[in-house]
A and B are shown apart, each in its own frame.
Chain A
């Protein structure tokens, strides 16, 4: 059933586990958030917090993992109950992915143009070769590829890193997706290339009007691009809200910690405060609030009772947090929360 009043994507109490030799890894444990049509949602969190697993769950492609709880609804359809064939029709056409490393995400022995043509024809078997070719060249030009018609015939190794990024993004938007997922698109890139990639993401988003799920551990990227932000910790969503609200008035100690660990122009390096401790083991997550071993506000209740995501504040946009004592953060001096 297609329900157009519901948000484009609803991730509802998602839990994914991996069975390993050491035990069951609870990679995602009750993640919940929504993405509206056309909006850019940043997903942040330290490495290992379950961002990639969440993204792959949306595509139904978690290798060897098991979804033990929850649902993912896309345009009102429960992706977990769709037959494989219908899921394939959604992947790449309605939900497309932008990869971190275009050099490895592109087939080295197939020309760039052919790869875009194949992406088009994969979802539209009736599309003629000539029409697909024209469309592919159009797409390359759209992402700012100079001399697109000549570039069409070239192979990935003949492209510079930036050009490969463009080609990959052209491929991702080829079928006019309504949701783009970019998993760490700027990680491991130098600053200038990072800026180019962000520009490209912006172009891709404007051209397709697609909603974008921007996964990153770089808060700066989120601040620059996203409308809303989802903060993940130990497989759970601990805070979410619009970027300005969350970044200026965070209501979860973990978010506060993340923001304080950011190098900023208005602060000296010795004022940086990385969050002490390390993320909990997902094999044996701590009871209660998963953040309590590292939280400066932790007390007995935190060690036994799991905080649920709840609405805080009274702003115009919905701001949620999973902390028992969120209200105490509101009272902290501005140097800490800013």
Chain B
């Protein structure tokens, strides 16, 4: 693939040459030179990011096929077999209520991914709208929205989430909303920046001259221009949201037992005896959180490089 690098990384240079070719050749070139196609290629050259992606795919499969993979129920209490060490029957042992740790770990992946993805989606959606409106309308609208974003960014987000979860009560929807409320400003700032840049571009002026409304310009020019970076920020938000879920559930403000989440599994392992002598209770959820967050961040970094090669030292 390395032979493609010069032409991919410097489209301006090759652009100068007139493309005259047969139809099939033309089609091939188009696919290769579409911005999306080029980003995909750059992403696939990044081994760590690809590995992160594969790992996430495995976690996703685990979550989706949890009932098939886990032979035991994640909530079945067996008071006759509490805190048992791993065995053939319980691969990762049992917890304080005699529930199968492996089953809980696998089912918890569902909750963590769900919360992570939905919180990030909500944050990105909110941030995109706020950022685009801010950039497009300017004036006092921009001032009010951006000061609000600044305020959100200057508070320690976990404190806000704790307060919100405390006031509204712990539940998965509340968890998703409170994580989203604290993370949208990052996307908003980004999209506002892109909007301001695109606003000055001649093609946006051309669109206005062609009769486009603000909404049209937003949908057809601004959001697509920001999409690459939105995806990157969104991905990194997923990691942040998974961590936030873990912290909140660990503190008892997130996912409520008996439903399992990686965070509340750690909550069960707070005593020194457990930490010292029963690693099967905290090591699996701890590793799951760390590995998943790391993998998401690897993918996010890979996407960042793929979307904008100029900002990375590598390409």
A residues contacting B by CB (< 8 A) are 59, 61, 85, 88-93, 96-97, 99, 101, 104-111, 118-119, 122-123, 147, 149-151, 153-155, 157-160, 163, 171
Contacts and interface: CB of A to CB of B under 8 A. Distances in A.
Contacts of A154: 19, 26, 29-30, 33
B15 A89 contact: no
Interface string B24-58: 00110110011100000000000000000000000
Contacts of B90: none
Interface string B174-189: 0000000000000000
B23 A147 contact: yes
10 contacts: A88-B212, A99-B206, A105-B205, A105-B206, A118-B220, A155-B33, A155-B34, A155-B35, A158-B19, A158-B33
B211 A91 contact: yes
Given A107-B203, A109-B225, A157 B12 contact: yes
A154 B225 CA distance: 18
A91 B210 contact: yes
Given A105-B206, A155-B34, A90 B29 contact: no
B224 interface: yes
Given A101-B202, A111-B34, A158-B19, A150 B26 contact: yes
- The 8 residue pairs across chains A and B that have the minimum distance between CB atoms: A92-B210, A92-B211, A157-B15, A104-B202, A91-B211, A105-B206, A150-B26, A153-B30
A236 B209 CA distance: 24
Interface string B199-230: 00111011011111100100011001100000
A141 B203 CA distance: 23
Interface in B252-278: none
Interface residues of B, number: 29
B23 A110 contact: no
Contacts of B209: 59, 61, 91-92, 96-97
Nearest to A155: B33
A104 B210 contact: no
A157 B202 CA distance: 16
B18 interface: yes
Contacts of B80: none
B90 to A, nearest CB: 54
Nearest to B208: A61
Of residues B33, B211, B212, B220, which shows the largest number of chain A Cβ atoms within 10 Å of its Cβ? Answer: B211
Given A99-B206, A107-B221, A150-B27, A160 B212 contact: no
Given A119-B210, A160-B18, A163-B18, 16 more contacts: A91-B209, A91-B211, A92-B209, A92-B212, A96-B210, A104-B201, A110-B220, A111-B34, A122-B216, A147-B26, A153-B27, A154-B26, A155-B30, A155-B33, A157-B11, A158-B19
Nearest to B35: A109
A54 to B, nearest CB: 15
A154 B18 CA distance: 12
B15 A158 contact: yes
B75 to A, nearest CB: 49
B206 to A, nearest CB: 4
